[in-house]
Amino acid sequence: MKLYSILQTICVALALIIHDGFAQDTRANVGTGFVVAEGYLLTANHILRDKDSFWVGPVDGKKWIKASVVKSDNALDLALISAKIDAKPLPIATWSQVPIGLDIVVIGFPQPKLQGISKKITQGIINGNRSDRNESFDQGYFQFSAEVSRGNSGGPVLSPDGLVVGMVQKKLDAINVVELTQDLPINVNYGLKSSQLIEFLKDTPAHVSARSLSLQTNLRPYQIYAQTEGSIWTVIGRKLSQGEIDAENSKAKSGEATNQNSW
């Protein structure tokens, strides 16, 4: 019990640090997105929800490209955005070929306010399908063990051959679990299956076909990173002030609107 108390104290202390540093900003959300077709990126909808201005980048280390929402789904927490990004689309895997226990990597922008806006890669496996009292076995989510943090949302979960098998979306609240069960879960995360991504995209300009998974191809994490990182970007949703909205409208009327910004 003493050990549990020590662990709980540590977890609470860490939670305070994380929440203080990463409380959801009412003005801006930061997440990850990846290219699925020329000029189109897939990301998590909660990054953009209730925001007025959307940006993708950074290009050349400082430029941000203005984006627009093409389609969104609150229930699936998915959004398709368009932006003038020159990057190769990432192929999406056929989910029915994805085995439990498959090695995977996640690439994204975790904790950008602490770690900066630079891509990070973590490694894990697909642990199983998500199933609880509120969801059926095939609800559309799977559990994986690669480490993720706030900022990874919307990023791709990648197979050993570099295909997208899902999107990072949810993370178990370890602090609440400790309080309820006196057990500390480590890296219990959930992704949306690739089958859901393809279904979401089928009636959009970014319609894609599933790619067969090659279980014989086992790239190392650094090879997967080198192969895919150019297609993975930071996505920002901003809430504009009334003054900024007025300025945007004025530029649009005068024909001075721009698709680039440097922050």
Residue 206 falls within a domain, yes or no?
yes
Lowest mean pLDDT among 53-57, 96-100, 185-189: 185-189
Dihedral, CA atoms, 146, 143, 45, 229, nearest 10 degrees? 30
Q: Taking 50 as the threshold, does the pLDDT of residue 196 lie above it?
A: yes
Range of the domain at 198: 27-238
Q: Taking 90 as the threshold, does the pLDDT of residue 191 lie above it?
A: yes
Q: Taking 50 as the threshold, does the pLDDT of residue 260 lie above it?
A: yes
Residue 248 falls within a domain, yes or no?
no
Q: Taking 70 as the threshold, does the pLDDT of residue 205 lie above it?
A: yes
The Cα–Cα gap between 133 and 192 comes to: 18
Q: How many CB atoms lie within 10 A of CB 112?
A: 19
Give one DSSP letter per residue of 217-258, joined into a string.
----HHHHHHHHGGGEEEEEEEPPPHHHHHHHHHHHHHT---
Q: How many CB atoms lie within 10 A of CB 50?
A: 9
Lowest mean pLDDT among 41-50, 114-123, 221-230: 114-123
Q: Judge whether 66 and 45 are in contact, CB under 8 Å.
A: no
Instruction: Give the pLDDT of residue 19.
Output: 32
The set of catalytic residues is 46, 77, 153
Q: Taking 60 as the threshold, does the pLDDT of residue 12 lie above it?
A: no
CATH code where residue 190 lies: 2.40.10.120
**What is the mean pLDDT of the segment spanning 168-189?**
73
Residue 16 falls within a domain, yes or no?
no
Instruction: Give the pLDDT of residue 20.
Output: 30
The string of pLDDT tens digits covering residues 78-121 is 999 999 999 999 999 999 999 999 999 999 999 888 888 889 99
Residue 162 falls within a domain, yes or no?
yes
Instruction: Give the pLDDT of residue 25.
Output: 54
Q: Taking 80 as the threshold, does the pLDDT of residue 186 lie above it?
A: no
Instruction: Give the pLDDT of residue 21.
Output: 29
Residue 50 falls within a domain, yes or no?
yes
**What is the mean pLDDT of the segment spanning 15-35?**
61
Pairing assessment for the beta strands 53-59 and 232-238 based on DSSP bridges: antiparallel
Instruction: Give the pLDDT of residue 11.
Output: 40
Q: How many structural domains does the chain have?
A: 1
Lowest mean pLDDT among 56-65, 92-101, 174-183: 174-183
Q: Taking 70 as the threshold, does the pLDDT of residue 246 lie above it?
A: no
Residue 18 falls within a domain, yes or no?
no
139: which 2 tokens?
A: 């609800």
Residue 5 falls within a domain, yes or no?
no
Residue 125 falls within a domain, yes or no?
yes
